[in-house]
Amino acid sequence: MKTAKHRKVGFIFVLCLLVIASLVGCSKDTTSKTAKTGGEESAGEPTNGGLLKVAYQSEPDTLDWSYTGASPTRDIGWHIFETLFALDKNFAIKPMVAKDYKVSKDGLTYTMNLREGVHFHDGSTVTAKDAAASIDRWRKVSSVGKITGAYMDTVKAVNDKTVEIKLKKDYKPFIASMAAPKSALIVIPAKIANEAGEQPLKPEQLIGTGPYKFEKWDKGQKIILSKFKDYSARTETDWGGLTGKKTAHFDKIEFQIVKDSQVMLNGLKTGLYDYAQNIPADLYDVVSSTPNIDPVTYINGYSTMTPDKSEAPFNDLKVRQALNYALDKQAIAEATYGNKKFYSLDGALFDPEQTELYSKEGTNGYLAYDKEKAKKLLKESSYDGRTLKIIYSNNNENYKKISQIVKQQMEEVGFKVELAPYEWATFLDKWKDPKNWDLEVVGWSTRFAPSELGMLSLGTESSGWYKSDRWQDLLDQWGKAETKEQKKDILTKMNQTVYEELPFYKIANETSLDIKSHKLQEYDNWLGQRFWNTWKSK
């Protein structure tokens, strides 16, 4: 990313790395990759007050938006917390809690000024000490923060509203990393940041600056947020995304844990819910023809399968290669998603709409299906015929379908496989220990930089304990790249590394389907559920 010597974050050219095609509205019968639904009558004047009821499929493991990049955490967490910098509706970096910043000529010192009068939910006002403590914690607990933290030297509060960060060496994506919406740099009170340390925030520590504040969590049932009456809103009405003006029109938002998609759909029909998340694509035609229900579609990353590479058998590259040849990804995608509007076969690490991050070069190994090659490689490998365990979350119908089809395809070439489905929270817990699994199936929502690719986060369960000097070197190169040509070359090499080292298997790009009541006005989805600046008509 090219960095100017001195700049205000309002300048869109700061984020040429992350600029993607602008989001446009879609009508009720549209399934294009957009973030905004339409087709309703004129919204009229906003209606304030009331309760928004959201049917939410996967209960989060935590609401600590720094601690994890999981979508169930993110989609609720960003109502509670905010970041120093954030992405707008066009994926350009803009300030949020920060006011502006400047960079020294050598690119090693960042000086950030905070907005005046930004309040925490506990009534205190955000200071530079809070921001500095939040940054220090982020670099310890966040996957993005850990990568960025390796380049950081010191963080200190210069005065009440100014933070100074010194880097060990120039890192071009530094501000982009601070604006990452995955494992985000949430601003929390210094006392809480210091007390929590490297542990996830406890319910009583969920104190942010967002338009809604945490109120209650009944495990297995619901999470309740309430309007923050002293919220310090920005004034920019055209930014959208995760920044600009945010207005909490509802008194409360109730995220109800509902695992059955048909229950969600029926609940929307009867008014039991106002919004439902993660509906199977095969229900799209039903949704489109149902009165008073609008489909909501948006790009949402891709589905994957990751092997545990810390031990046998997948520490053997030949076993990983055999599996790659065993997977008929086209058949998996067709059986899983059905409707072609909701998936695409593409081997790149980023979505084609992410024009500054997309390179299809180096993805030849993506559709490498060849059963005979798979059988041959498996015989030559160290695989001893043991039964391999695939874990997945049974809260997601797509994960279930993918796992079932993968099991069948693996057994056709000589693998022995068993499936182990778990509730989302249990799945996350099982994922942490390599003794619990050999392969795991999960989806990764849209990322905005190589450092955010959790399935390639070195030495973690997210990547199946991937170790690669080659990948680390490419991340280092990315941190120095300035021109589009340099970045495209690195992205191509990243693709090649993935298909030569096979740390994970990409299944297909996903377009997600949610549903909402026609009464929900001015709703702008933007890659996940966001319920500020929207209200319910009477």
The pLDDT of residue 318 is: 98
What is d(CA 479, CA 379) in angstroms, rounded to the nearest whole number?
A: 41
Q: What is the mean pLDDT of residues 305-332?
A: 98
Rounded mean pLDDT, 532-538: 94
Is the CB of residue 176 less than 8 Å from the CB of residue 449?
yes
Q: Above 80 in pLDDT, residue 242?
A: yes
- The answer, yes or no, to whether residue 538 has pLDDT greater than 90, is no
CB 137 within 8 A of CB 196: yes
On whether the CB atoms of residues 202 and 196 are closer than 8 A, the answer is yes
CA distance 7 to 76: 32
Q: Which residues, in sequence order, are CB contacts of 438 under 8 Å at separation 6+?
A: 307, 308, 313, 314, 388, 389, 390
Please give the Cα distance from 240 to 244 (Å, whole number).
6
Q: Cα dihedral sign for 466, 471, 472, 478?
A: negative
* pLDDT category of residue 87 using cuts at 50, 70 and 90: very high
What structural domains and CATH numbers belong to the chain?
47-274+519-536 (3.40.190.10), 300-511 (3.10.105.10)
| Confidence band for 19, pLDDT divided at 50, 70 and 90 | very low
- Beta-strand pair 275-276/51-56: parallel
Q: One-letter amino acid identity for 99?
A: K
Least confident segment among 175-189, 206-220, 524-538: 524-538
3-class state of residue 315 by DSSP: coil
pLDDT at 149 over 60: yes
* 166: pLDDT strictly greater than 90: yes
Note the pLDDT of residue 473. Answer: 96
Q: Of 270, 345, 255, 332, which is closest to residue 302 (Cα–Cα)?
A: 345
Ranked by mean pLDDT, which of 34-38, 284-288, 294-298, 371-375 comes out on top?
371-375
Please say whether the beta carbons of 146 and 177 come within 8 A. no
Rounded CA separation 92/86 (Å): 8
pLDDT, mean of residues 487-491: 96
Residue 424 three-state SS: helix
Average pLDDT over residues 513-532: 92
Query: Residue 292 burial (CB < 10 Å; 0-12/13-18/19+)?
Result: exposed
- pLDDT category at 43 given cuts 50, 70, 90 is low
Specify which residues 37 forms β-bridges with. 26
CA-based nearest residue to 327, from 307, 309, 350:
307
Q: What is the pLDDT of residue 77?
A: 97
The Cα 8–Cα 29 span in angstroms is: 41
Closest CA to 112 of 122, 120, 102, 121: 102
Considering only CA atoms, which of 286, 267, 289 is closest in space to residue 276? 267
CB atoms within 10 A of CB 117: 9
| pLDDT at residue number 135 | 98
Do the Cβ atoms of 479 and 171 come closer than 8 Å? yes
Q: Indicate the residue type of 91.
A: F
How distant, in Å, are the alpha carbons of 194, 266, 439, 508, 525 from that of 340?
48, 25, 26, 11, 21
Rounded CA-CA distance 112/285 in Å is: 49
Residue pair 472/338 in contact by the 8 Å Cβ criterion: no
Q: Indicate if the pLDDT at residue 327 is higher than 60.
A: yes
**DSSP of 123-143, one letter per residue?**
S-B--HHHHHHHHHHHHHH-H
pLDDT computed for residue 353 by the predictor: 83
- When the pLDDT of each residue in the chain is averaged and rounded to a whole number, the result is 91
Q: Is residue 85 within 8 Å of residue 148, measured between CB atoms? A: no
CA 158/CA 147 separation, integer angstroms: 25
> Quick count: other Cβ atoms within 10 Å of Cβ 9?
24
Pairwise pLDDT comparison (88 vs 29), residue with the higher score: 88
SS3 191: helix
Residues 6+ apart with CB under 8 A from 489: none
Report whether pLDDT(4) > 50: no
64: Cα within 13 Å, side-chain hemisphere: 22
* pLDDT band with cut points at 50, 70 and 90 for residue 282: confident
pTM: 0.82
Task: Check pLDDT > 80 for residue 16.
Answer: no
Taking only Cα atoms into account, the Rg of the chain, rounded to an integer number of angstroms, comes to 23
- Cα–Cα dist 328/371, whole Å: 9
